[in-house]
Amino acid sequence: MAVIYSVGHSNRSGRTFIELLQRHDVELVADVRRRPISRFAHFSQEGLTSLLHEHGIDYVHLEPLGAFREEGYEAWMQTRTWQQAYRELVVLARRQTAAFMCAERLPQQCHRRYIARRLAMDGWRVVHLIDGSAAQATLDM
């Protein structure tokens, strides 16, 4: 079974975030925030791209997978735009060890839970990286 990781940057330091990704051999971060900005400069798109590349980790922004949709996220998941971005995530995750990322630390408080459920339905083992010592599989949520 293929594995994909889910992670929320939260208020982590850049160093802590990188260490968490490295602990799981993540090679690609797929940013699933609708707007890749943060009050923490190292988690805004430019800073994050630079931070990741410094550590040999690729970055892609998949805006269509982002939250805050007027029609609600579950309805948005039915659109062609979401489906295409989802397929792109799957293709990328087959090539490299990937983590899809948003801002919230806990997936239960984030739209990542919807992406994770869909991935699990499609046969992926989704592991949510909570902190250095805790990881949670989607089925445990």
3-state secondary structure of 77: coil
61 Cβ neighbours under 8 A, 6+ residues apart: 30, 31, 33, 36, 45
| Tokens (6 digits) for 122 | 């499609």
To the nearest 10°, the Cα dihedral for 74, 80, 82, 84? 150
| Domain CATH for 114 | 3.40.1010.10
- Domain housing 126: 3-140
pLDDT digits (tens, 9 = 90+) for 40-60: 889 999 999 999 999 999 999
Beta bridge mates, 99: 5, 29
pTM, two decimal places: 0.92
Instruction: State the Cα–Cα distance between residues 113 and 137, nearest whole angstrom.
Output: 11
Q: Give the pLDDT mean for 12-26.
A: 96
| Structural domains of the chain, count | 1
* Beta strands 3-8; 58-61: pairing state: unpaired
pLDDT digits (tens, 9 = 90+) for 75-115: 999 999 999 999 999 999 999 999 999 999 999 889 999 99
